[in-house]
Amino acid sequence: MTINYPVGTHHGKTLKNNTLRTGKTTKKVLFGKRGMGLEDEINLANDYYLANRLAVVHKKPTPITIVKVDYPARSAAKITEAYFKQASTTDYNGVYQGKYIDFDAKETKNKTSFPLKNFHEHQISHLASILSQGGIGFVIIKFTSLNENYVYPASELIQQWQHLNGKQSISYQEIVDKSFVVPESLNPSLDYLTAVDKMLEALH
Amino acid sequence: MTINYPVGTHHGKTLKNNTLRTGKTTKKVLFGKRGMGLEDEINLANDYYLANRLAVVHKKPTPITIVKVDYPARSAAKITEAYFKQASTTDYNGVYQGKYIDFDAKETKNKTSFPLKNFHEHQISHLASILSQGGIGFVIIKFTSLNENYVYPASELIQQWQHLNGKQSISYQEIVDKSFVVPESLNPSLDYLTAVDKMLEALH
């Protein structure tokens, strides 16, 4: 079976997925890291890791329910009705030194806590499944007002989720205590694997 | 940042991604495995593996370039213009006993060979990156006319791709010789991890 995905031919006015999701930040003028959303930073880090053969991590495409597709003659198939669908897993996964890694990325303007409403039940249970298979699960949490980034282990998140019944917030201090800080870095600007290394060391 | 994906509300006339891609087969009356496409069989196997805590493997959403989105009042955001995009990776990945696995699934009606045009250059280079990171890469190949399924190692595919310059076909015999057959099974009907186990044994 050959599957030919026609490539979108409207690049001039293309609205990329990441523009959709971090629209507010990407409209700003880019100047170094300023104005770059967490997702953009992670994508750049993943590009860097791939090019330097350090890891292969990709963001999954946004899940969509397609309702109507037009097949115009001599043109690419055009989706004319579709809806965003709730993701059943996390946004990122890949392989790092033979190990399976799986994570989501969340940012908050809050300075004192991280609201659990940022997660859905199925993301938590997905991360629990990953851990039970021996995979490495975590969340990259960015406190945008503080410009601090943390790799927060999935095991801690699951514990807090159960403890707080999926509601309320995890305190900033709790996250700082249980996380591995992503150090300041130039290239990539968000070198999250350095923090993952420290997490793996701590697990052994 | 809270991201709320509105759930599609048109389930009555929903055209699922897998219906789109294996439309010809799924219209047939289902009777046991008959009429079930390879993708459906893999999804059922993945459901089985997840429920029985044997592996966590998901199909990635179909990559789409979104051009226009309407935000009707009191309704879910509606995508009104979008195009299929060529995938930059394979369709499936996940974790199996702590190991990263990554694969694509292809079927052919051909009985004597498997055409390389089923692959794109970037899928081959993605699989090569996976192998270099210590991940497990392969392709599930179904010869539909013979009703035979094989787990064909990515290392072999990459070799043949280079040898044949991405053109022509790999002979049926070559695939049989270098693959690990997926045994007949009831539940799941396509128990591909059994073949992956044999591949991993052979690698050691």
Q: How far is B142 from chain A (nearest CA, A)?
A: 9
Three-state DSSP class for residue B148: strand
State the Cα–Cα distance between residues B119 and A4, nearest whole angstrom.
10
State the Cα–Cα distance between residues A170 and B63, nearest whole angstrom.
34
Q: What is the predicted pLDDT for the residue at A167?
A: 80
Contact B1 A118 (CB under 8 A): yes
Contact in structure between B135 and B127 (CB atoms under 8 Å): no
Q: Based on the structure, what is the number of domains in chain A? A: 1
State the Cα–Cα distance between residues B181 and B23, nearest whole angstrom.
26
**Residues of chain A with confidence (pLDDT) below 70:** 1-35
Q: Flag whether A80 is in a domain.
A: no
Three-state DSSP class for residue B82: strand
Enumerate the residues of chain A whose CB falls inside 8 A of the CB of residue B167: none
Three-state DSSP class for residue B17: helix
Three-state DSSP class for residue B109: coil
Q: B124 phi and psi, to 5 degrees?
A: -65, -45
Query: Does A112 show up as a binding residue in the annotation?
Result: no
Q: How far is B193 from chain A (nearest CA, A)?
A: 14
> Which among B65, B68, B84, B66 has a CA at the least distance from the CA of B17?
B84
Q: Chain A residue with minimal CA distance to B4?
A: A86
Q: Flag whether A51 is in a domain.
A: yes
Beta bridge partners of B141: B106, B150
State the Cα–Cα distance between residues A22 and B108, nearest whole angstrom.
41
Q: Flag whether A116 is in a domain.
A: yes
B29, exposed or middle or buried, with CB in 10 Å at 0-12, 13-18, 19+?
exposed
Enumerate the residues of chain A whose CB falls inside 8 A of the CB of residue B76: 83-84
Q: What is the predicted pLDDT for the residue at A18?
A: 36
Contact B130 A82 (CB under 8 A): no
More confident position, B204 or B187: B187
Contact A83 B76 (CB under 8 A): yes
Q: What is the predicted pLDDT for the residue at A35?
A: 60
Q: Flag whether B12 is in a domain.
A: no
Query: Is pLDDT above 70 for B86?
Result: yes
Contact A65 B16 (CB under 8 A): yes
Q: Flag whether A15 is in a domain.
A: no
Mean pLDDT for B67-85 is 92
Contact B135 A85 (CB under 8 A): no
Q: Packing angle between helix A192-203 and helix A38-51, nearest 10 degrees?
A: 80
Q: How far is A106 from chain B (nearest CA, A)?
A: 6
Q: B107 phi and psi, to 5 degrees?
A: -125, 150
- Give the count of Cβ contacts less than 8 A between chain A and B: 201
Enumerate the residues of chain A whose CB falls inside 8 A of the CB of residue B20: 66, 69
List C-alpha distances in Å: B76 to A20, A153, B2, B3, B10: 15, 33, 16, 13, 10
Enumerate the residues of chain A whose CB falls inside 8 A of the CB of residue B39: none
> Which among B105, B110, B109, B153 has a CA at the least distance from the CA of B128?
B153
Contact A66 B126 (CB under 8 A): no
State the Cα–Cα distance between residues A158 and B163, nearest whole angstrom.
48
Q: Flag whether B11 is in a domain.
A: no
Enumerate the residues of chain B whose CB falls inside 8 A of the CB of residue A126: 56
ipTM of the complex: 0.80
B interface test, pick of A11, A57, A64 with most B CB neighbours within 10 Å? A64
pLDDT tens string B7-42:
433 333 333 333 343 334 333 344 445 568 999 999
Contact B62 A61 (CB under 8 A): yes
Query: Is pLDDT above 90 for B147?
Result: yes
Contact in structure between A76 and A8 (CB atoms under 8 Å): yes
Mean pLDDT for chain B overall: 85
Among the partner residues A1, A8, A99, nearest to B65 by beta-carbon distance: A8
β B99-108/A180-181 pair status: unpaired
B202, exposed or middle or buried, with CB in 10 Å at 0-12, 13-18, 19+?
exposed
Contact B83 A95 (CB under 8 A): no
The alpha carbon of residue B152 and the mean position of all alpha carbons in its chain are separated, in whole angstroms, by 13
DSSP state string for chain A: -----PPP--GGG-B-HHHHHTHHHHTSPPBTTBT--HHHHHHHHHHHHHHTTS-EEEEPPPPEEEEEEE--TTS--EEEEEEE---SS-SEEEEETTEEEEEEEEEE--SSEEEGGGS-HHHHHHHHHHHHTT-EEEEEEEETTTTEEEEEEHHHHHHHHHHTTT-SEEEHHHHHHHSEEPPB-SSSSB-HHHHHHHHHHHH-
- Domain range for B51 is 30-60+87-203
Percentage of chain B beyond pLDDT 90 is 74
Among the partner residues A64, A86, A108, nearest to B64 by beta-carbon distance: A64
Q: Residue B146 maps to which CATH number?
A: 3.40.1350.10
Query: Does A104 show up as a binding residue in the annotation?
Result: yes
Residue B88 per-residue DSSP state: S
Neighbouring C-beta atoms of residue A173, cutoff 10 Å: 10
List C-alpha distances in Å: B143 to B69, B114, B194: 40, 8, 18
Q: What is the predicted pLDDT for the residue at B35?
A: 60
Contact in structure between A107 and B1 (CB atoms under 8 Å): yes
Non-local CB neighbours of A193 within 8 Å, separated by 6+ positions: A45, A49, A54, A55, A96
Query: Does A89 show up as a binding residue in the annotation?
Result: yes
Contact B15 A68 (CB under 8 A): yes
Among the partner residues B5, B22, B83, nearest to A85 by beta-carbon distance: B5
Contact in structure between B125 and B159 (CB atoms under 8 Å): no
Contact B134 A97 (CB under 8 A): yes
Contact in structure between B159 and B148 (CB atoms under 8 Å): no
Among the partner residues A10, A80, A100, nearest to B80 by beta-carbon distance: A80
State the Cα–Cα distance between residues A46 and A56, nearest whole angstrom.
7
